[in-house]
Amino acid sequence: MVCKLTASEKEALAKLLEGEYTACKRAGMYASLAADARFAALADAVARNHRRRFCSIFGALNGNYEEQGGNEQ
């Protein structure tokens, strides 16, 4: 399914994109600096989740959105 986004929807997605980017970078930094291996693994998983959401939002903004069929995680 291809979505046509309004200007306000694109603006909202751009703000979400910025938030996901920042969260991904921070979680990745925490993972690389963590002394505790379990915390590092958790922070790395959080970074991967933010990266996945970033890619989904980026695709929507570039007109490459396809319905996922309930595969959200």
> What are all long-range contacts of 52-60, with beta carbons under 8 Å and residues at least 24 apart?
53/20, 54/17, 54/20, 54/21, 54/24, 57/13, 57/16, 57/17, 57/20, 58/17, 60/3, 60/5, 60/13
CA 4: distance to chain centroid?
A: 21
Tell me what pLDDT residue 65 has.
Answer: 54
- pLDDT tens digit at each of 73 positions of the chain: 566 778 888 888 889 999 999 999 999 999 999 999 999 999 999 999 999 999 988 887 777 654 443 333 3
Domain ranges of the chain: 24-64
Q: What is the pTM of this model?
A: 0.74
